Amino acid sequence: MSKKRAPEEPYWAPLPRQHFNTTQTISIVARHLIPLAGVLLFGWSPGQFVLLSVFNIAFTVACIGTVGVAVSTRKENGPSPNLADEIASWITLLGVGVFISLLLTAMFGWVIALFAAATSPHGLFDLSLAGSALLMVVSAAPGLFQQYQADMRSSMTEEERKKRDQPNVLVLVMCAGLIFIISGYIPDLGQYGLVIMAIAVTGLFIFRDLRPDLMRELTRPKNRPPQDDYKKELE
């Protein structure tokens, strides 16, 4: 009797729960609360909330990519000779991440902007929206820097980091799909509906980033059991 082969992509195995320190937890929660605060405190329209949510997702995807490239490059070239160079490199890295985020938001957010135009009589773009996007970047920076340092100290190879991050990107794509679905109902959202939607989306995003191990299971193909299940089937 031939034995079943384990899946070729071992990264579909369950991910151990990540334990974040206080700085990382505050960074995650604060970044996701900013769009909700725009709705509750600044009276944003549904379109503005959804558009900033798209930027939030794009920024997360961009940071996964840029941090991964930065870690690989730094490990190849060796550590920076001094702290000033390290800080300058990090600021450059963050700037690249923001640029890619804006590019992704423009590429995919214009569709949402069309749906949202009817609910934003004063326009989608204003200083509060731009300031909120900047505040999200500032809020995320400490947690991202700690992730960068942790990956630098880690013995994981570049391939292992890719296998760790790829399912997380797929989860973000699923969240983007949810935002696009919501955007189709923007004209029908009243004030109470907007608040409920904003709270639900914010809660989902916080849960996604604090418990990536659980969200990651949603991306595993249903016909491919985790690695541990294969061990049981071979017995």
pLDDT tens profile 50-100: 888 889 999 999 988 888 888 888 877 766 666 677 777 778 888 888 999
**Cβ partners under 8 Å of residue 148, min gap 6:** 67, 70, 71, 90, 93
> CA 171, 161, 224: angle at the middle one, nearest 5?
50
CA separation (Å) from 175 to 90, 168, 208? Answer: 27, 11, 9
Q: What is the pLDDT of residue 231?
A: 41
Average pLDDT over residues 3-9: 47
Q: What is the pLDDT of residue 25?
A: 87
- SS3 at position 106: helix
Q: What is the pLDDT of residue 6?
A: 46
Please state, for a pLDDT cut of 90, what percent of the chain lies above it.
7
Q: What is the pLDDT of residue 161?
A: 83
Average pLDDT over residues 182-191: 73
Q: What is the pLDDT of residue 171?
A: 85
Q: What is the pLDDT of residue 10?
A: 46
Q: Give the Cα separation of 208 and 34 in Å (integer).
A: 16
Q: Is the pLDDT of residue 166 over 90?
A: no
Q: Is the pLDDT of residue 174 over 90?
A: no
Average pLDDT over residues 134-144: 86
Q: Using one digit for the tens of pLDDT, what is the confidence trace for 95-134?
A: 888 999 989 888 887 777 666 665 555 556 677 778 888 9
Q: What is the pLDDT of residue 79?
A: 62
Q: What is the pLDDT of residue 80?
A: 62
Q: What is the pLDDT of residue 191?
A: 76
Please state, for a pLDDT cut of 70, what percent of the chain lies above it.
76
Q: What is the pLDDT of residue 119?
A: 56
Give the residue from 194, 152, 174, 168 showing the smallest Cα distance to 50: 194
Q: Is the pLDDT of residue 221 over 50?
A: yes
Q: Give the Cα separation of 197 and 205 in Å (integer).
A: 12
Q: Using one digit for the tens of pLDDT, what is the confidence trace for 11-52?
A: 555 666 777 778 888 888 988 999 999 888 888 877 788 888
Average pLDDT over residues 199-217: 85
pTM here?
0.76
Q: What is the pLDDT of residue 8?
A: 45
